[in-house]
Structure 1
Amino acid sequence: MPHPGWSLFGFEGIGTRWEISTPDALAAGVRNQLLGTVSAYDEVWSRFRPDSLVSSLSRSPGRITLPDHACGLQRVYSALYRLSGGRMTPLIGSSLERLGYDAGYTLATSGSPQAPPQWEGTLEWTGRELMVTKPVVLDVGAAGKGQLVDLLGEVLRASGHTDFLVDGSGDMLHAGTHPVVVALEHPYNPKQAIGTVELANSALCASASNRRAWGDGLHHVLDGATGRPIQTTVATWTMAASALEADALATALFMMEPGPLEDEFEFSWLKVSSAGAATYSAVFEGRLFS
């Protein structure tokens, strides 16, 4: 939790709650920059609004030019698509919509689960340039909120704030000389915690199947090979230098073993299986309750 006495700036954006904590209150200009950053990100990446940049690709094939931050997103997604054998993919949007997690939040399936198109032959993404050969529903939700956390951190640093905590509903970035202790939410009871971790000058992100769940066994973490919700893992937490990587890796841990991820990314992790077993990395510096 933020330190007592710190100033809190809270707002809604991209369908989630944001809280930014700083020792001193943020100036109006900085607050406007933060709100503008969230709004601009939504205008590019949201699959829930028909006027977003990526939504144009759901209506017809074509090419779009993305903001500079797309380069980092592309690098992470490309690596995780390769490492997971296609199970983690930005093309998962069509599978989510089929199960009811669509722009209208119908939460009603329109058919049995279906795998999304393969990246190969469908998507060409190099840095800021993205092209698709047929209409697709892009969804970067597995890493996008984390990247937005980082972008808000950049706004704060550019305005002279060196101590802060950006919290996008559990995806966090901390900076400064005052570490914070964060509770790890119980995957089956959000009012309880299974442990705590100290966050200091790094990012902490979580992924849980109970956060966006509906119907019988339906939730938002889908296997890109089948289009089905993953049932073997219920929650993951990751800590890394950036929230972009932490967020993406938290989702990737639902789909694959951590070893190959640890070979290419520097991060620590905690994973809870549907059987209730907790496993964690050798460098995970958290405390689990008995």
Structure 2
Amino acid sequence: MALWRFDAIGTRWDIETARELGEDERAAVDAVIERFDREWSRFREDSVVSSLGGGGSAELPADAADMLELYRELSEATDGAVNPLVGAGLSALGYDASISLVAGAARPAPQDWQDILGWTERLTLTEPAAIDVGALGKGRLVDLVRAELAHIPGNLVVDASGDLAVRGAAVRIALEHPFDARRAIGVATIADQALCASAINRRAWGDGLHHVLDARTGMPVRTWAATWAIADDAMHADAAATALFFDGGAELAARWGVEWVRMSTDGRAQRSSGCPVELFTAAS
């Protein structure tokens, strides 16, 4: 397998293909990532979502309907804990466009977000707010990159630092322990599927501050330390991995046919009944 390693959207990417990608093929992948980042990154002043921060409308991005309709399901399943207008809450705690990591007062996201954010003919905000699609956006982008490389024959792995999609032969993936990166809590085996992970030790700063917020309070979650979800596509796996931090997440995963593992902050592990994971730690 040929390996192409690069950095994009603030994370490391590894793309493994049966043959080395040509210059034009790499450029096509770069263009997919650049387009998505230019539309959805709240860390870019020139992005579509940044331009809407004060309210207004913009041309509808190609992925808006698919992602925001999935957000509707996430929000309903978690009683409002997952919300695409959580961006202001992340910024308030220091995870802002400049990555200041200087925390202020918690800022809950508006619970009437579906009245504020529209995505029919155009992407609209009827009042100032900050769109953040981090609950499923990286998974969506992994799917887009995988689709861009669909013409490449043989096995394929698209890995965006923990959010990955596999085509072809089975791959074994270690599940990193959230409290000790040198250890794994288990190993997943997947083929022609996607696996996405989320953990409170990633994008963490300050005293107990991290990127997984409860939109209802604007505060980081405290019960679960890490989640892993396996689905047919990375967007649903990423969305389920986020939902599993909250009540209702396991039930939503079951409706979607997603298998999962999660570890609590006190070290207990849970898993879905059909999850293809060998756990090294006791499951509750």
TM-score by length of 2: 0.95
| 2:70 is aligned with 1:79 | no
**Rounded Cα–Cα distance in structure 2 between residues aligned with 1:20 and 1:160:** 12
- Report the secondary structure of 1:254's partner residue: coil
**What is residue 15 of structure 2 aligned with on the other side?**
20
- Report the secondary structure of 1:37's partner residue: helix
**Rounded Cα–Cα distance in structure 1 between residues aligned with 2:267 and 2:160:** 26
Does structure 2 retain, via aligned residues, the 8 Å contact 1:156–1:162?
no
The farther-off stretch of 35-44 and 160-169 is: 160-169
User: Matches of residues 225-240 of structure 1 in structure 2 within 5 Å?
Assistant: 225-240=216-231
Q: Against the structure 1 CA distance between its residues 258 and 173, is the aligned structure 2 distance closer, same or farther, given a 3 Å change threshold? A: same
- Which amino acid letter does the alignment assign opposite residue 276 of structure 2? E
| 2:150 is aligned with 1:148 | no
Deviation at 1:74, TM superposition (A): 1.6
Does structure 1 retain, via aligned residues, the 8 Å contact 2:60–2:119?
no
Q: Against the structure 1 CA distance between its residues 141 and 262, is the aligned structure 2 distance closer, same or farther, given a 3 Å change threshold? A: closer
- Structure 2 residue runs of 5 or longer lacking an equivalent are none
**Rounded Cα–Cα distance in structure 1 between residues aligned with 2:39 and 2:154:** 28
**Rounded Cα–Cα distance in structure 2 between residues aligned with 1:199 and 1:259:** 20
- Report the secondary structure of 1:71's partner residue: helix
The farther-off stretch of 263-272 and 197-206 is: 263-272
**What is residue 27 of structure 2 aligned with on the other side?**
32
**Rounded Cα–Cα distance in structure 2 between residues aligned with 1:40 and 1:131:** 19
Does structure 1 retain, via aligned residues, the 8 Å contact 2:80–2:215?
yes
**Rounded Cα–Cα distance in structure 2 between residues aligned with 1:38 and 1:282:** 35
- Report the secondary structure of 2:149's partner residue: helix
Out of 82, 87, 91, the position equivalent to 2:85 is: 91
User: Matches of residues 117-128 of structure 1 in structure 2 within 5 Å?
Assistant: 117-118=110-111, 119-126=113-120
Deviation at 1:109, TM superposition (A): 1.1
- Report the secondary structure of 2:36's partner residue: helix
- Which amino acid letter does the alignment assign opposite residue 253 of structure 1? L
1:222-248 superposed Cα distances (whole Å, 9 cap, x missing partner): 001100000100000000011001001
Does structure 2 retain, via aligned residues, the 8 Å contact 1:63–1:130?
yes
Does structure 1 retain, via aligned residues, the 8 Å contact 2:193–2:232?
yes
Deviation at 1:162, TM superposition (A): 4.3
Deviation at 1:220, TM superposition (A): 0.4
Identity fraction in percent: 44
- Report the secondary structure of 1:88's partner residue: coil
**Rounded Cα–Cα distance in structure 2 between residues aligned with 1:129 and 1:161:** 37
Count how many residue pairs are aligned between Structure 1 and Structure 2.
280
**Rounded Cα–Cα distance in structure 2 between residues aligned with 1:44 and 1:132:** 15
**What is residue 189 of structure 2 aligned with on the other side?**
198
**What is residue 267 of structure 2 aligned with on the other side?**
276
TM-score by length of 1: 0.93
**Rounded Cα–Cα distance in structure 1 between residues aligned with 2:224 and 2:254:** 21
Deviation at 1:64, TM superposition (A): 1.8
- Which amino acid letter does the alignment assign opposite residue 133 of structure 1? T
- Report the secondary structure of 2:24's partner residue: helix
- Structure 1 residue runs of 5 or longer lacking an equivalent are 1-5
Deviation at 1:67, TM superposition (A): 2.8
Does structure 1 retain, via aligned residues, the 8 Å contact 2:240–2:253?
no
Does structure 1 retain, via aligned residues, the 8 Å contact 2:61–2:123?
no
Deviation at 1:71, TM superposition (A): 2.1
Deviation at 1:191, TM superposition (A): 1.5
**Rounded Cα–Cα distance in structure 1 between residues aligned with 2:241 and 2:166:** 18
Q: Against the structure 1 CA distance between its residues 267 and 193, is the aligned structure 2 distance closer, same or farther, given a 3 Å change threshold? A: same
1:94-144 superposed Cα distances (whole Å, 9 cap, x missing partner): 00000000011110013x212012214322233x63211111111001111
Out of 46, 49, 55, the position equivalent to 2:44 is: 49
- Which amino acid letter does the alignment assign opposite residue 125 of structure 1? W
- Which amino acid letter does the alignment assign opposite residue 99 of structure 1? L
**Rounded Cα–Cα distance in structure 2 between residues aligned with 1:40 and 1:211:** 25
**Rounded Cα–Cα distance in structure 2 between residues aligned with 1:262 and 1:36:** 32
